[in-house]
């Protein structure tokens, strides 16, 4: 009888061990299948993301190609048209004897020159090859030099630790240029300054542009004009900063942004 009980207990133990092993094996197979399913899902998601990224890259490439086409068309068509208009006005000016007529022609020449300048700015904005920090700084200095050339204001510029090929977006480049353009124009119109200095600094991914002059400065309590408000708004839209800095005489405007 005891042998029978021992045999029964042993049999039950074997059955229990078999059930445990079966459950463990079944659980292992289930987890493995589940893991394979999750990995397959991740691969499908990664493939879908790659497809979306590829489509976005193709879209961006198409946009850049369209920008280049518009840029070339503007240069070839509008540029040639403005040059022809200016040449014709110069020819008419030589033949005109009436002072009033000559004044009108001078206004026409001035307008054509302004149109030519605006067109060059648009071409620079459209060209994706200019989407670098170095290109922005070079054009900013060139613009300020051309703008101030016929004034008494002397231009100085300084760059520090600039990595020229640092990429920047077209939108950021355009807004930074419009801020600089507004600031330089304000110096010319309001400061009575003799010198204007452009200072550019790069600290890792932080870009700083400071525009300072030795003019009369902004009086304490003076309300902000539309120009300053527009500059601050543009920088805020790009998650940057725009400040009036108090450092000696004149006015200093500081722009700081992540690139």
- Looking at residue 200, its pLDDT comes to 97
The DSSP result for the chain, as a single string, is -HHHHHHHHHHHHHHHHHHHHHHHHHHHHHHHHHHHHHHHHHHHHHHHHHHHHHHHHHHHHHHHHHHHHHHHHIIIIIHHHHHHHHHHHHHHHHH---HHHHHHHHHHHHHHHHHHHHHHHHHHHH-GGG-BHHHHHHHHHHHHHHHHTTSSPEEEEEEES--TT-B--HHHHHHHHHHHHHHHHHIIIII--SEEEEEEEEETTEEEEEEEE-SS-PPTTPPP-HHHHHHHHHHHHTT-EEEEE--SSS-EEEEEEE-
Q: Which tokens hold the place of 123?
A: 């071409």
Q: Which tokens hold the place of 17?
A: 């061990």
Q: What does the pLDDT profile of the chain (259 residues) look like in tens digits?
A: 567 676 777 777 777 777 778 777 788 788 788 888 888 888 888 888 888 878 777 776 776 666 666 666 655 566 666 666 667 777 777 777 777 777 777 777 777 777 777 777 777 877 777 889 999 999 999 999 989 988 899 999 999 999 999 999 888 998 999 999 999 999 998 888 999 999 999 999 999 999 999 988 776 666 667 788 899 999 999 999 999 887 678 889 999 999 8
- Looking at residue 82, its pLDDT comes to 64
Measured CA to CA in angstroms, residue 239 lies from 23, 122, 133 at distances of 58, 24, 17
Angle of CA points 197, 233, 135, to nearest 5°? 45
Question: pTM of whole model > 0.85?
Answer: no
Measured CA to CA in angstroms, residue 107 lies from 82, 103, 104, 150 at distances of 14, 6, 5, 17
């Amino acid at each position: 009888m005891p042998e029978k009980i021992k045999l029964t207990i042993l049999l039950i133990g074997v059955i229990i061990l078999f059930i445990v092993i079966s459950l463990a094996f079944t659980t292992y197979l289930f987890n493995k299948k589940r893991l394979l399913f999750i990995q397959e899902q991740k691969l499908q998601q990664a493939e879908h993301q790659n497809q979306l990224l590829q489509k976005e890259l193709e879209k961006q490439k198409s946009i850049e190609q369209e920008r280049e086409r518009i840029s070339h068309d503007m240069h070839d068509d509008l540029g040639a048209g403005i040059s022809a208009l200016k040449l014709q006005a110069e020819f008419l000016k030589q033949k005109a004897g009436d002072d009033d007529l000559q004044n009108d022609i001078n206004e026409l020449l001035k307008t054509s020159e302004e149109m030519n300048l605006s067109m060059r700015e648009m071409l620079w904005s459209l060209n994706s090859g200019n989407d670098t920090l170095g290109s922005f700084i070079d054009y900013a200095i060139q613009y300020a030099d051309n703008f101030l050339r016929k004034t008494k204001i002397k231009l100085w510029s300084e760059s520090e630790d600039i990595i020229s090929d640092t990429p920047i977006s077209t939108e950021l480049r355009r807004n930074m240029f419009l801020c600089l353009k507004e600031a330089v124009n304000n110096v010319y119109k309001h400061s009575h300054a003799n010198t204007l200095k452009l200072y550019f600094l790069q600290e890792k991914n932080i870009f700083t542009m400071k525009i300072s002059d030795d003019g009369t400065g902004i009086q304490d309590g003076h309300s902000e004009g539309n120009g300053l408000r527009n500059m601050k708004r543009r920088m805020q839209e790009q998650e940057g900063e725009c400040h009036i800095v108090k450092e000696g005489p004149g006015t200093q405007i500081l722009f700081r942004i992540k690139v």
